[in-house]
A and B are shown apart, each in its own frame.
Chain A
Amino acid sequence: MHYSPVALHIPDGFLSLAVSLICWAITAIVLAMAVSRTNKSLGEKQVPLMGIMAAFIFAAQMLNFPVAGGTSGHLLGGALAAIVLGPWAGMLVMTAVIAVQALLFQDGGLLVMGANILNMGLFTAMIGYGLYRGVSKASRTTKLAVAGFAAWLSVMGGALATALQLWLSGTSNLQTVTIAMLGVHALIGIGEALITVAALTFILQTRPDLLDETSASAQGGRGWVVAGVVISLAVVLLSPLASIHPDGLNRVAEDLGFIHTAQSGAGPLAGYSVPFFADASLSKIAAGAIGALVVLGLSILTGRSLQKKSQMSK
């Protein structure tokens, strides 16, 4: 059976205890909210549905397509799950998937599972659902394009969060790990975006009732749009900052004493004391934003062409 681990699953030992516990705390709070919401608003019928949807995400990750040179693209599913099932259910489903990957396959650690759930389940759901929810009244093409962009950005967000956690733990050099993680996942994210858009197109054609106004996916409040946009902006703004001007972030983290807390019990990190070049980093941030816009444009074009093709094939 084809099962390819993704570089986003952090194993035990690579994050410091403090970073692991902080991530667990955030994850536990969000999951507690998700559980109480689910218990209140969903019937008992939803639980078997979510369980089988978790198995679906797990199985869908085995679907792959050849890209080039022996590499293949496949689905991670965080954005798709949140768009189709709604944000809270999407989070719970992704949590179950990540927990089973860690417990059964040792793909990702136990102590760092909080961080893995945060990166691959919670951020992806917030970005994926939040951006999609913002255009829920728009035309189908816009919805699909935004879903594609959100899928791409959700992968990038997970990669950036992973890089930042590794850096705060004193495991990696900020600039190197950010560039490496974002570089690789910019490609993986394109595969994710293409599959997500095509899958949504397929569902919209065959079972449009699953994605209409009354479906689970339309039941998240407008607050999700705010959360999605805020986290997306954080990803877009922090990525160039961390990859091009790591000294700034290093400095901030050191000034706040955050690095020393984060690495408690771990060795020292390279001390950076280069001043923060505010003006130069602004242009890089702009470059990052423009890059994101280009990808958005590309995914709109892709969405259009996919739609045309599927209309022609009818």
Chain B
Amino acid sequence: MHSDAFDRYHHGHSLIHDLDPRVKVVVTVGFILSNALLPDGGWTAFALAWMFVLTASLFSGLGFGFTFRRSFIALPFALAAITVLFSIPGKPVTSFQFLMWHFTITDAGLLRFVSIVIRSWLSVQMAILLVAVTEFPKIVHALRHLRVPAVLTVIISFLYRYLFVLADEVLRLLRARESRSARAAGRGAGGSVLWRARVTGNMAGQLFLRSYERSDRVYNAMLSRGYKGELMTIHPHHVHASDWLIVLLSFVCLVIMQVVGRMP
């Protein structure tokens, strides 16, 4: 597997790509925070927030549709919010019969449900944009500068670095299982669910030992290359005046959204 099989970074040079990663992380988190603060039914503010995402996409050279295409990933979770349609008291909009239950959708419930889904949808788009325009190691480095403990950022760096190596191990294990699971016509392959679970558990144990022993080799290799307990980078980050300008502009936009969202 190629080392960037899991990467969501889209290479390019644009205003947004070249921003300091810290700026991008802070603005993304600020945007998601602002979405959480917007009141239910603040349609104009939601529209402004979407414009904010679209503008950022445009300046990143990825095009308007980029974040939109992948933005439905969080949608299945909307199932969790579906109960508010019926449980908030309000004017009935429509009602229907399902088996023995009678459901009434209220206007207040509908308002809350749609607001929750839109907030989530906007936040996910911004997060998609962040990883599309920032290389993952730079995000981790930015987190380190933003006072996330070194232990955590180093673990995350290792996770990212060795994920594809271990994913290759998983593929090998799965392939080995496939090649040993002959299937006769009319009879399913493998034993009971319990047996299959045990096989999978053995594979997990095997993967654990392989990972454990690999970590020994990795550590020795790192020592021989001068590892002193923290990862170094040859790309020091500098916050330029333009970065400050973007932060300022973004936060002005967020404040405007909040004000618009709270206007009657």
Contacts and interface: CB of A to CB of B under 8 A. Distances in A.
Given A172-B80, A176-B83, A66 B196 contact: yes
Nearest to A84: B208
B159 A65 contact: no
Interface stretch (A52-60, A225-233, A287-295): A52-60
Nearest to A268: B88
Interface stretch (B28-36, B232-240, B245-253): B28-36
B128 interface: yes
Interface SS of B by simple majority: helix
Interface string B201-235: 11111111101101100110010000111000000
Contact of A13 (B36, B130, B154, B201): B36
Q: Is the interface of A mostly helix, strand, loop or mixed?
A: helix
B218 A96 contact: no
Contact of A12 (B119, B136, B208): B119
A100 B156 contact: yes
A70 interface: no
A60 B207 contact: yes
Interface stretch (B12-20, B54-62, B91-99, B110-118): B110-118
B152 A95 contact: yes
Contacts of A52: 158, 162, 166, 211-212, 214-215, 218
Interface in A104-144: 104-107, 109-111
A150 interface: no
Interface string A9-37: 11111101100100000000001100100
A278 interface: no
B3 interface: no
Residue from B130, B160, B169 with most neighbouring chain A CB atoms (10 Å)? B160
B178 to A, nearest CB: 12
11 contacts: A11-B120, A12-B74, A52-B211, A52-B215, A59-B211, A60-B208, A100-B156, A171-B81, A172-B81, A196-B201, A302-B194
